[in-house]
Structure 1
Amino acid sequence: MPEPRYDVIAIGNAIVDVMAHCTDELIDELGLTRGGMMLVDEEQANQLYEAMGPAREISGGSAANTLAGLSAMGAQCAFIGQVADDQLGAVFAHDIHAVGIDFDTPKRAGEPATARCLIFVTPDGQRTMNTFLGASQFLPATALNEEAIGGARILYLEGYLWDPEEPRAAMRRAIETARAAGRKVAFTLSDTFVIARHGEDFRQLMAEGLIDILFANKAELAAITGKEDFEEGLAEIAPLVPVLVVTRSEEGAVAIAHGERAEAAAEPIAKVVDTTGAGDLFAAGFLFGHVRGRDLATCLRMGAIAAAEIISHIGARSEVDLAALIESKLG
């Protein structure tokens, strides 16, 4: 097998995060649910954008956040996701390239526009998010760079993107491509609502041996198994995947790989500022350890350190040298 070009290639929603500070009064004026997240249509997105003050625009989306963390640690990464041929599509491409991630998915002509998450940050640090999924939901299998997929150690798939039909077909094709090349497939369940809609698909993928690394949080584990007891849920899923990783917020995380079990405590921090991206960066830390051949317990610790850094400030991009931070914490 040829030496991989990439450590991780990911497929996910290509979303531009548009973040601006605002007053509590503006949240009320716009009729938003303070601290909540809701899906909006393009007209609503445009109206909210016009109401925003000076904003910061960065590439976002769950899988893209994970890759940004991996790249910051020194991994070679590539992203596959759909943007439109518009201004925010150019912003997404520029920003993801700027953090060292290869991205060559052809832009989509016409409507809808590039996906965006409009984030209003009030003085107390609370984030009110409004997401327009736009073009990200229309990734066709023909847009896949199959050579790049076959040249990556791990194909990482974002569960959120399993919901729309077109990218779901693309991800199935990507799994076939990775498998044919002898590569590993990692999958994150993303959210309980995705499991409610597609849990049977995910269980079938596991039964067919098509998932090598499965990421879930405690609630998602309960949703995929139907078991509220955490240990019972682990016992049901662990035999179906070579590596199972389950996070439990402040209770830390558990991983089971080929019968070996490891646990890691949550990394202590002075103050939790913003939990957005915590799971994404945990996955980044774990995957970086995995592709570098670290033992299971160390992989979990690396994930916990990366997650702790990201929740200590606003935004899903690290504000320190993540690689140096992890190595210093590991000793």
Structure 2
Amino acid sequence: MPNPAAAPEPASGARRIVVFGDVIDDVVVVPSGPIRHDTDTPSSIRQRAGGSAANAASWLGAQGAAVDFVGRVGAGDVARHSDILAGFGVTPHLIGDTEHPTGAIIVIVEGNSRSMLTERGANDLLSADDVSDELLDHASVVHFTGYTIYHGDGAGDDHAAVRRLFDRAAARGVPVSVDPASAGSLEDFGAEAFLAVIAGAGLLFPNLDEGRALTGLDDPMEIAAALGQRFPLVALTLGADGVIVVETGHDPVRIPVVESRIVDPTGAGDSFVAGFLASWTENGDAVTAAKAGAAVAAGAVTQVGGRPSQA
């Protein structure tokens, strides 16, 4: 059986990264100071395309990786979001929903913290079955976030489509990468239930809060070690304290953060994952990949919104 975290050596014409999951229209609000209730607060307000999975795909494409993205939007937004993704070098495979709108979030940024008001819309109708066998045939890795599990993919069928995706990927020797994405949603869903759904994943990208929720532990190194017992490759992100990489057969490695001026932390985790996967699928070196991810994330937080800037 192939190592589920080994960077594959695909046939000629392969080595594409397949990402599926949320597409969102973000309205990013950065108040000039404390929000004054019942009156005006001068703010910077920007509309941006977002969604954790779509953000990761965009950062991958911006780095020159060959990436396919599968998502679901309101029918009237297929062309608009396809063009935005294509502008980052992503090959879009968007499904138009005639009954539900494109997901939307109001993001209120206050220093290093964010408050998010969310309408998931068409994202809740996306299924892992929408990732075709043809895409998997040419994939080096397939990546998705916990939002697909928490909110979509048909909770009533015990997430059978996600489990089928793991089986279909394993049959092709394609590792599956998972970003838990939300500590709050993870706690609501249940850590053991989540771990059961993603059993067989080759790569896991939790932040510290998500790691605590998954393990019940507090110390970062202990969290990373515990998750390393379950998954072949874990990159635990610690914000300003860097990243801990745990890989089967190797000692844990702590990677320092790349210092930068934080304007908006939206998409920092997605950009880290993108930098990691773009590097790892090329060289299979997890430490080098974590350093690449940290560098991409350092640039991501210096701008408003969760995707790269477009010229």
Residue aligning to 1:39: none
CA deviation map 1:75-125 (0-9, x unaligned): 000111111212x44322221122111122331222x21111234679x99
State the one-letter code of the partner of 1:190.
Answer: A
- Cα gap change, 1:119/1:247 in structure 2, threshold over 3 Å: closer, same or farther? closer
- Cα gap change, 1:200/1:150 in structure 2, threshold over 3 Å: closer, same or farther? farther
- Are positions 1:199 and 2:208 aligned together? no
- Cα gap change, 1:28/1:91 in structure 2, threshold over 3 Å: closer, same or farther? farther
CA contact (8 A) 2:242 2:255 kept: yes
Residue aligning to 1:147: 134
d(CA) in 1 for partners of 2:240, 2:113: 19
Residue aligning to 1:175: 166
1:169 positional shift:
3.9
More helix by share: 1
- Are positions 1:15 and 2:24 aligned together? yes
CA contact (8 A) 2:123 2:152 kept: no
Residue aligning to 1:318: 308
Q: Secondary structure of 2:298's match? A: helix
CA contact (8 A) 2:21 2:126 kept: no
d(CA) in 1 for partners of 2:93, 2:20: 12
Q: Secondary structure of 2:253's match? A: strand
Number of aligned positions between the proteins: 296
Runs (5+) with no aligned partner, structure 1: 36-51, 322-331
- Are positions 1:118 and 2:106 aligned together? yes
Q: Which moved more, 1:279-288 or 1:89-98?
A: 89-98
Residue aligning to 1:97: 86
d(CA) in 1 for partners of 2:56, 2:212: 23
1:18 positional shift:
3.6
Residue aligning to 2:151: 164
1:63 positional shift:
1.3
Residue aligning to 1:80: 70
CA contact (8 A) 1:16 1:91 kept: no
CA contact (8 A) 1:274 1:315 kept: yes
TM-score (norm: length of structure 2): 0.83
CA deviation map 1:263-315 (0-9, x unaligned): 2101012x221111111111111111101115332211111111111112222
TM-score (norm: length of structure 1): 0.79
Residue aligning to 2:230: 240
1:228 positional shift:
1.5
Identity of aligned residues (%): 26
Question: How large is the RMSD of aligned CA atoms in angstroms?
Answer: 3.1
d(CA) in 2 for partners of 1:116, 1:295: 36
CA contact (8 A) 2:19 2:142 kept: yes
d(CA) in 2 for partners of 1:214, 1:178: 16
State the one-letter code of the partner of 1:5.
Answer: A
Matches within 5 A, 1:19-38: 19=28, 28-29=37-38
